[in-house]
Amino acid sequence: MVSFQLNAFYLQNFMSKWIALLTFCLSASLNAQILIDHPLTLTECVAFGLENQPETKQVWWAANRAASALGSAKSDYYPQLDLNLNASNGKLFEFGSVSHPFFSTAGANLTLSWLLYDFGGRDSLVEAAKSALLSANWQTNWVLQRVMVAILENAYSLLHAYEVLQAAQISSQDAQLLLETAVQLNRAGLAPVTDVYTGEATLAQMKMEAAMQQAMIDVQRGKLAVSMGLPADAKIELAPLNDIPPPSLPCLSQLIEMATELRADLMAKRARVSETIALQGQVRSSYLPQVSFTGIGGLDYAFGEKNDGGQYLVALNLDFPLFTGFDASYQNRMAAADTNISLSDLAQLQLNISLEVLTHSRTLAATQEMLQLAEISLNNSKMAYEGVLEKYRAGKERIAEVSNAQRQLAQARVRYSDIKTRMLTSIANLAYATGTLLPNMRDACKN
């Protein structure tokens, strides 16, 4: 198996800290106040998200509930012991002579019941509870990864918004320089006044785009905050992202095989199939005999007579359900249907996973190639703009050509940032699709 950890280079040192992050997620301080006084790295954003997202707390409690359900299922192996205490006072009415019309009694009874054998019913319930717990653990893993990839996507989008705003500001500076050049040439009689108007219109357009992009930053910051489990108006700033080398991808068949082995939601679905099969076995055993033991011991005391009496009962019971109104037959059919539904869900999920891996791997490969071309386009656009601007200053070019070159340069800056963001998002999504976003949690979920 090819070692493939797409997230290793953009979550620096994260895997060495994943236990601490899970501790944050499962901590009891659910209402802890978050103080963000510095630009956050991606690792810190993920840590905040795992700690504060309600969804992570929900699946953690679901896993705890599944563990308790397993303990409850195992309790059927133990005997049941009940103690009954009673006290009574009354009066008897009889025709004729009455010797003791009033009476007061007190008693205690201890009952021991123990199911000895039920043809695998208890075993099936315990196996179903074990599978449900395993499914809950895998689902917890999957939700953590879903929270992580959502945070990464929103963080990349916010960084992209920063870059687009910076590009808009640079374009505004270029437009300001073009306007000043047009004014100087017009004063020297080398350019018409319409060039000044064109420069002013171009500058106004660039400023409008910068203003709109500032609003987009606020919106994207709110999306990131919500994905981290924080209020939408939380003041979040991101630290700059280091340059990311393009990953070396295995072939598609290896990626799909990796996803089949590592995807936590697939593991959860397989555990769900095991649970339904075990429940089907429990239903079958429900219309088979049960062997149980019953022991009862008690003591009664009559206050008026000032004497007491005791009794006991020891019994070995064989219960055989002969007819339940065809309920057992229908229960067995429903259990078989649940099993087949789970198997169909599993098969559909495997198909969906292969499509997800294909989609994200091809998108990543395409964006890697596009990023190289976008860099070439950006460099060429810069040189083209500088060349046209110099010609305009020399009176050898029209301002329309300069404006076109300026718009092309502005678009090239945005396009480069957009493709880079799409590549980063594809890396995170492919790691998510192959189940490698939290690879070290596989053994933890099994245990």
Residue 73: pLDDT above 70?
yes
Mean pLDDT lowest among 174-178, 199-203, 287-291, 303-307? 303-307
Q: Averaged over 409-421, what is the pLDDT?
A: 92
Q: Averaged over 223-237, what is the pLDDT?
A: 90
Helix (H) or strand (E) holding 138, with range, is helix 121-187
Q: Where in the chain is the domain with CATH 1.20.1600.10?
A: 43-78+119-287+326-446
pLDDT at 88: 86
Q: Which residues of 155-186 are buried (b: 16+ CB within 10 A; e: fewer)?
A: bbbbbbbbbbbebbbebbebbeebbebbbebb
pLDDT at 67: 92
pLDDT at 353: 94
Residue 98: pLDDT above 60?
no
DSSP single-letter state for residue 230: S
Helix (H) or strand (E) holding 91, with range, is strand 80-91
Other C-beta atoms lying within 10 Å of the C-beta of residue 127: 20
Q: How far apart are CA 285 and CA 271, in angstroms?
A: 21
Q: Where in the chain is the domain with CATH 2.20.200?
A: 80-117+289-323
Higher pLDDT, 162 or 23: 162
Residue 223: pLDDT above 90?
yes
Residue 24: pLDDT above 70?
no
Q: Which fold has domain 43-78+119-287+326-446?
A: Outer membrane efflux proteins (OEP) (1.20.1600)
The confidence band for 282, taking pLDDT boundaries of 50, 70 and 90, is: confident
Higher pLDDT, 308 or 440: 308
Q: How far apart are CA 427 and CA 432, in angstroms?
A: 9
The confidence band for 137, taking pLDDT boundaries of 50, 70 and 90, is: very high
Residue 33: pLDDT above 60?
no
pLDDT at 12: 34
Residues of the chain above pLDDT 70, percent:
86
The confidence band for 398, taking pLDDT boundaries of 50, 70 and 90, is: confident
Q: Averaged over 343-355, what is the pLDDT?
A: 95
Residue 154: pLDDT above 90?
yes
The confidence band for 128, taking pLDDT boundaries of 50, 70 and 90, is: very high
38-65: per-residue pLDDT in tens? Answer: 888 888 899 888 888 899 889 999 999 9
Tokens of 395: 């009176």
pLDDT at 16: 37
For domain 80-117+289-323, the question of CATH label 2.20.200 is answered with yes
Q: Averaged over 244-265, what is the pLDDT?
A: 85
Q: Tokens 């919106």 belong to which residue?
A: 219
pLDDT at 7: 41
The confidence band for 443, taking pLDDT boundaries of 50, 70 and 90, is: very low
pLDDT at 152: 93
Tell me if 118 sits within 8 A of 288, measured CB to CB. Answer: yes
DSSP single-letter state for residue 15: G
The confidence band for 340, taking pLDDT boundaries of 50, 70 and 90, is: very high
Mean pLDDT lowest among 26-30, 155-159, 239-243? 26-30
Q: Averaged over 340-347, what is the pLDDT?
A: 94
Residue 22: pLDDT above 60?
no
The confidence band for 95, taking pLDDT boundaries of 50, 70 and 90, is: low
The confidence band for 199, taking pLDDT boundaries of 50, 70 and 90, is: confident
3-state secondary structure 290-328: EEEEEEEEEEEEECCCCEEEEEEEEEEEEECCCCCCCHH
pLDDT, mean over the chain = 83
The confidence band for 3, taking pLDDT boundaries of 50, 70 and 90, is: very low
Residue 30: pLDDT above 50?
no
Residue 10: pLDDT above 60?
no
What Cα–Cα distance (Å) separates residue 332 from each residue in 73, 130, 286?
20, 21, 9
